[in-house]
A and B are shown apart, each in its own frame.
Chain A
């Protein structure tokens, strides 16, 4: 039995899903959803682990179902070719009559750098309305090397707001659906010692798991000490790198946890 099943959860409550409440990010979510609907290009800036991907999942939830939403994790796709990816979307008949897909919603996660070719393709597809709207996410808008003509089309740059201590406590309460597992003091101390929201949640998950395994009802400050001494420990994120051809070969089968490229 998994630890969370003992707390009457079917799934791990710390795993971000489309249903997850994004406490503290409500206005950012609204801004993203609005700009998708309005057909704009926007860039969402946030540090690693600040919740960029979780925000995009909200957009997927809102607009999925017509095969128009394309999620791309730029970090996992090494040789990105926007044209190919857009073309791939077409069905057999559309290919036959040379029709282009219309009004796609593109979610480009972890946009670190776009080469000129892709920038130009994006601009062209956007102008032609093959792409309705694009949400870029990344750490810093200035490091992506967009062409001036694409920058001028950008509607706005949104910064992901910082989560407050109080919100951090609310987040854990909401995830675990209980007041008992994390006290306000423990939650806020854990938040202080974690690098970012993502790691805060990872650490909270680990602690909740330990508490359940030790037949405890709650996480104590000593338990926080055991995984994160006062100074704070950095857990390195390991990320796999896929090339585009890997993704292509895997084709539709790649419905793993977080595919690099997927239509919704």
Chain B
């Protein structure tokens, strides 16, 4: 590489605006994790709805951290395969090979279904049968519950819906500050403006912050000013 990447100039070893979910972060801004955890503990079936980049995978990672470890938690991404999900092997899997042979199924399982907008009708019916019997709680995560009526997810979930769209300007500032600290490169005001231009989407916010900071540092500026925000439109 001709020059050091901008974040190394600033003393960061890696790109601080990586869009990968950061499971180790103590707080998750803007979302009520406690509400989600208590729904799981209460054995509910619910749908977490949010557009791309709103933090669904990040929330899933937090659930895994909270409830994982006892082989009670199953994560499954619904668009992994074109076929129906083999729930028997999914649920029996927890007992290992022997369990599969003997047909032992787990009880009290927590099922996390990612990309749940892609679930098929037969899967939804299967889930209905397994719920309460083997599965204690089902967390469905997807971009939209709309259109789920025809595949029967709506019956499964009922009114139990959490929408991820309430990220405030202050949350956006906290997200960025968590990653870069109080450095003067980005002021709170500028972060809020980038957030607006990112359609208040956290993933887009991170991507845009990376592009802007890279541009500004490479050009030799010390601080992001309003005029630099035009970088966003060039991409």
Contacts and interface: CB of A to CB of B under 8 A. Distances in A.
Interface stretch (A122-130, A244-252, A253-261): A122-130
A149 B115 contact: yes
A211 interface: no
Nearest to A115: B82
A37 B1 contact: yes
A39 B115 contact: no
Contacts of A152: 52-53, 203
Given A124-B77, A152-B53, A38 B18 contact: yes
B228 interface: no
Interface in B197-221: 203, 207, 210, 214
Most buried by B among A40, A62, A121, A156: A40
Given A39-B15, A117-B81, 9 more contacts: A30-B1, A38-B7, A38-B18, A116-B80, A116-B81, A120-B77, A121-B80, A148-B143, A149-B52
Interface string A57-87: 0000010000000000000000000000000
12 contacts: A38-B15, A39-B14, A39-B15, A39-B20, A62-B1, A116-B79, A126-B20, A127-B57, A148-B143, A149-B52, A149-B143, A152-B203
A126 B57 CA distance: 11
B138 to A, nearest CB: 19
Contacts of B227: none
Nearest to A121: B80
A227 to B, nearest CB: 38
Given A126-B20, A127-B20, A38 B5 contact: yes
A147 B82 CA distance: 13
Contacts of B52: 148-149, 152
Which one of A33, A119, A129, A152 has the highest number of Cβ atoms from chain B below 10 Å of its Cβ?
Answer: A152
Given A39-B14, A148-B143, A117 B1 contact: no
A86 B115 CA distance: 23
A119 B15 CA distance: 24
A203 to B, nearest CB: 31
A34 interface: yes
Interface string B6-29: 010000001100111100000000
For chain B, the bracket of interface size reads 20 to 34
Contact of A116 (B1, B14, B61, B82): B82
Prevailing SS type, chain B contact patch: loop
Contacts of A40: 15, 19
A124 B5 CA distance: 26
Name the residue among A37, A38, A147, A155 with the largest chain B CB count within 10 angstroms: A38
A149 B19 CA distance: 13
Interface of B: 1-2, 5, 7, 14-15, 18-21, 52-53, 57, 61, 77, 79-82, 115, 143, 203, 207, 210, 214, 235
Interface residues of A, number: 26
Closest 9 interchain pairs by CB?
A152-B52, A38-B15, A120-B80, A33-B1, A39-B18, A120-B77, A127-B57, A37-B5, A116-B79
A120 B118 CA distance: 12
Interface in A109-166: 115-117, 119-121, 123-124, 126-127, 129, 147-149, 152-153, 155-156
A37 B15 CA distance: 8
A59 to B, nearest CB: 11
Contacts of A121: 80
Contacts of B214: 34
Contacts of A124: 77
B143 to A, nearest CB: 7
B116 to A, nearest CB: 12
Contacts of B57: 127
Nearest to B60: A127
Contact of B80 (A39, A117, A127): A117
Nearest to A103: B14
Contact of B2 (A30, A127, A129, A148): A30
A38 to B, nearest CB: 4
Contacts of A34: 1, 5, 214
Interface string A160-192: 000000000000000000000000000000000
